[in-house]
Chain A
Amino acid sequence: MSLTGTIAKKDAPAVHLPPPPWAELDASCQLPVLYFLLSGLAWLLVGSLLQFEAGIRLLCPDWWAVCPAMTYGRLVPAAETALVYGFASQMGLGIGLWLLVRLGRTPLVASGLIAAGNVLWNLALTVGILAILLGEGTGHGGLEMPAYSQWMLLAAYMFVGIWGVQTWAHHASGPYYASQWFLLGAMFWFPWLLTTAQLVVVTFPGRGVLPAITAAWFVGGIQHLWLTPLALAALYYFIPVITGRPLRNYHLAVVAFWSLALFGGWSGPARLIGGPVPAWIVSAGIVATVLLLIPVTIVALNTWPVLGSRLGQVCQNQVLRFLAVGVLCFVLVSLGNAVNALRFRAAVTHLSLNEWARGFAYLHGFIALTFLGAAYHVVPRLMRRDWPAPRLVSVHFWFTIVGLALVVIPAAVDGLRQGHELNDAAVPTAKIFEQLRSVFGWRVLGLALMGAGTLAFLTNFGWLLVRCWTPGIRSAAALFIDESGKSVTAR
């Protein structure tokens, strides 16, 4: 069932067009989308390894201590950079470009240049992450890469952004679908965020706490105006297409979009609560973080009835499983963020592992699972061949979910204890921190499982590529594909 056929049923605007040539459209974006997905996955592996190594550092701090590049304080920002800019941003762009082509029913403009942008992007990240490990990091959370690689990254983005927006503008007639609003927003907000933060925080830093305020705005923006809209664009497309049911309450999606656009931009400073900045800035951040529950509620109202009515399919389908857990993480973490933004809660949880756990669950739960699930749908269509090892998809799913739980739940629970005890002057400081070791143990175990899951995906991906590029097998592959775009991975 095609997307239009699906969404035109009830809530979404109807479009009457002849079925577009999906095969041609997919071919137009095959190279850059594959590049982005593959390099995103590779960075996920690198980022997971760096995170794992950082966890090991906490458990065995004297092992390899002679090497400053392997010190905890450098591994953490290097891992974060690899995961946010390498994995999440590139996977999001890959999925986003494919969605632009599918929804706009128009071939990707300048796909060669976009692929070149991908190469430059990876170069910028490689240089930047090596620089962090060698001690050249800026020291600003979220903007750790030195200025030269940030500018390279921005230049690389321009290749993608300019031609991506061109593709958006070539949209075949008819109304824009929700995913397209989110994609256009993300594609404009990202360069604006990065340029401003780069100028004001790194290149020409303001005095005193000004860089911290801008960096907080930037981190909130990267979370809510870059990664979140990219992930929501994917959810709003794949859930109706795979279930074959229209999103419920679709007319509310427009409110979700504009409220996310407004409050997402203001939400960042909530993370400065208690910090040395004017109170109004923090208050604005808190209000925006709480009001972000509006788009979150609407996303739940749009997607949950659909997923709930197809619960059996959700449990079985390789793609839907990932997306459903992703939506769940989105709602739970956003709720946790809103509650813990309130001043009386922040007094306990701010700066604690509980806060860290929410950040981890947002990135590895909501963002990552959404993109990974989407990739399971997109790649077989691009390659015109189904996944060679469906079992590995299940391995990936369960390893990731169990690993995620092992990392997040102990940290969230023990973080509350940490926060309470730090506020109780009678508890010795050293004791509070030493007790966190068990959390780090679970974290290392969880990260190992998640890494193994990623390896399962990469194996499947590699196997698929080998099969497709082996002469002789290729011609038979085309038989597999349902031209209307129906999910071949659904079973």
Chain B
Amino acid sequence: MNRGPLIFFGILLTFATAWCGLVLVPHQQLGDLAPIVSEETGQSFPQARPGDAAQGARLYASLGCVACHTQQVRPEDGGGDIARGWGLRRSVARDYLYDRPLQLGSQRLAPDLANYGERLGTNPPPYLHLYNPRAITAGSYCAANPFLFTLRAVTGAPALDALQLPKGFAVAAGWELVPTAEADQLMAYLRSLRFSVALPEAPLKVVEENK
């Protein structure tokens, strides 16, 4: 190869194929993907997150939870995510229409959180895990987030949302740990993580089995 312009032209051309194929075409294909409205309930899916959960999403990204927690359920023939109970169906592009920033993740050093809100159900939110994961699971290596809580002296009756700390984690008598507004936002976000709604492109697993 001894012609500079020819090399240059080839360099542009080969790159342009991937650029068109992987940047332009996906934008064409997915750019106008819209929420789906259920005929039975009239509700649309997915729904935009309310303000506190949207704030929590930003906090989740800022703390880098995605370094260990993925948010994607792989199809049944591509891994054991559904069998493990991380979702009732695989995740599809439509599920993430309002996820910003998107936190799919590339490493699973901890449970998947795509349907964490679903798993949590009506249980009380896991503030204690957020404060220190070792207070719940002794062998966990998940980061503790004491900076999301305020330590303050108890004045009058203890606060309703004060953490019920187990032995070994308790604070001094007369003091209590209460979640900050940021901790509440993060919880609102975690609660909002769910997509157990059947979609035309992704039916729920239970529905398939009933057929």
Give the interface of A toward B (CB within 8 A).
Answer: 13, 57-59, 61-62, 65-68, 71-77, 135-141, 168-169, 171, 174-176, 181, 184-185, 188-189, 192, 196, 200, 205-214, 216-217, 221, 225, 254, 258, 261-262, 265-266, 268-269, 271-278, 281, 284, 343, 346-348, 350-353, 355-356, 418, 422-425, 429-430, 433-434, 436-437, 440
Do the beta carbons of B12 and A423 come within 8 Å of each other? Answer: no
Tell me whether B79 and A274 are in contact (CB under 8 A).
yes
Q: Can you name 27 A-B pairs with beta carbons within 8 Å?
A: A13-B2, A61-B133, A65-B132, A68-B147, A71-B143, A73-B63, A137-B62, A168-B4, A175-B2, A196-B23, A213-B23, A221-B18, A261-B11, A262-B17, A265-B17, A272-B104, A275-B91, A275-B104, A276-B91, A347-B78, A347-B79, A351-B107, A423-B80, A424-B80, A430-B137, A430-B140, A436-B109
| Contact A278–B102 (Cβ < 8 Å) | no
Are B102 and A208 in contact, with the CB atoms below 8 A?
yes
Q: Are B101 and A138 interface neighbours, CB within 8 A?
A: yes
Residues from chain A with a CB closer than 8 A to the CB of B111 are 429, 433
Chain B residues whose CB sits within 8 angstroms of the CB of A281 once the complex forms: 22, 26
Q: Which residue of B lies closest to A66 (CB)?
A: B146
Q: Give the chain A neighbours of B52 by CB distance below 8 A.
A: none
B43-92 contacts to A (CB < 8 Å): 61-68, 70, 72, 74-75, 77-80, 83-85, 90-92
Taking the closest CB of chain A, its distance from the CB of B150, in whole angstroms, is 13
**Interface residues of B: mostly helix, strand, loop or mixed?**
loop
Chain A minimum-CB-distance residue to B34: A207
Which of chain B's residues has its CB closest to A440's CB?
A: B141
A9 to chain B, nearest CB (A): 19
Contact A211 B78 (CB under 8 A): no
* Docked-complex contact B95 and A139, CB < 8 angstroms: no
Nearest-neighbor residue (CB-CB) of B12 within chain A = A188
The answer on a CB contact under 8 Å between B11 and A200 is: no
A350–chain B nearest beta-carbon distance, Å: 7
Which residues of B are found within 8 Å of A351, using beta-carbon distances? 70, 105-108
Name the CB-closest residue of B to A282. B78
Question: How far, in Å, is B83 (CB) from chain A's closest CB?
Answer: 4
Q: Are A211 and B101 in contact (CB under 8 A)?
A: yes
A278 touches B26 (CB 8 A): yes
B178 to chain A, nearest CB (A): 16
A416 CB → nearest B CB, Å = 14
Given known contacts A68-B147, A174-B2, is B14 in contact with A274 (CB within 8 Å)? no
Is B36 located at the chain interface by the 8 A CB criterion?
no
Say whether A266 contacts B18, CB under 8 Å: yes
Q: Of A13, A174, A276, A352, which is in contact with the most chain B CB atoms at under 10 Å from its CB?
A: A276
With A208-B30, A212-B102 known as contacts, the answer to whether A74 contacts B64 (CB < 8 A) is: yes
Known contacts being A265-B18, A266-B21, is A205 close to B141, with CB within 8 Å?
no
What is the bound-complex CA distance between A210 and B72, given in angstroms? 15
How near does chain B come to A122, taking the closest CB pair, in angstroms?
24
Q: Are A356 and B107 in contact (CB under 8 A)?
A: yes
Name which residue of chain A comes closest to B101, CB basis. Answer: A139
Interface of A is mostly: helix
B contact residues around A65 at 8 Å (CB): 132, 143-146
Task: Let me know if A189 and B15 touch, CB within 8 A.
Answer: yes
Chain B residues near A (Cβ < 8 Å): 1-2, 4, 7-8, 10-12, 14-15, 17-19, 21-23, 26-27, 29-31, 33, 61-68, 70, 72, 74-75, 77-80, 83-85, 90-111, 132-134, 137, 139-147
Give the complex CA separation of A268 and B18 in angstroms: 10
Complex Cα spacing A168 to B5, Å:
12
Question: How far, in whole Å, are A418 and B110 apart by their CA atoms in the complex?
Answer: 11
Closest 5 A/B residue pairs (Cβ): A73-B64, A265-B18, A139-B61, A423-B80, A274-B74
Q: How far is it, in angstroms, between the C-alpha of A291 and the C-alpha of B3 when the chains are bound?
A: 27
Q: Specify which chain A residues have a CB less than 8 angstroms from the CB of B17 in the assembled complex.
A: 262, 265-266
Whether the Cβ atoms of A261 and B15 lie closer than 8 Å is: yes
Residue picked from B10, B18, B61, most chain A C-beta under 10 Å: B18
When the two chains form their complex, are residues A433 and B31 in contact, meaning their CB atoms are under 8 A apart? no
- In the complex, the answer to whether B64 meets A77 with C-beta atoms within 8 Å is yes
Judge whether B7 and A433 touch: CB under 8 Å.
no
Name B79's contact: one of A138, A265, A422, A434 (CB within 8 Å): A422
Q: A68 — which chain B residues lie within 8 A by C-beta?
A: 63, 145, 147
Name the CB-closest residue of A to B26. Answer: A213
A254, closest chain B residue (CB): B1
Cβ distance B111 to chain A, nearest Cβ, rounded Å:
5
- Determine which of B12, B72, B83 lies in contact with A274 in the assembled complex, contact meaning CB atoms within 8 Å: B72
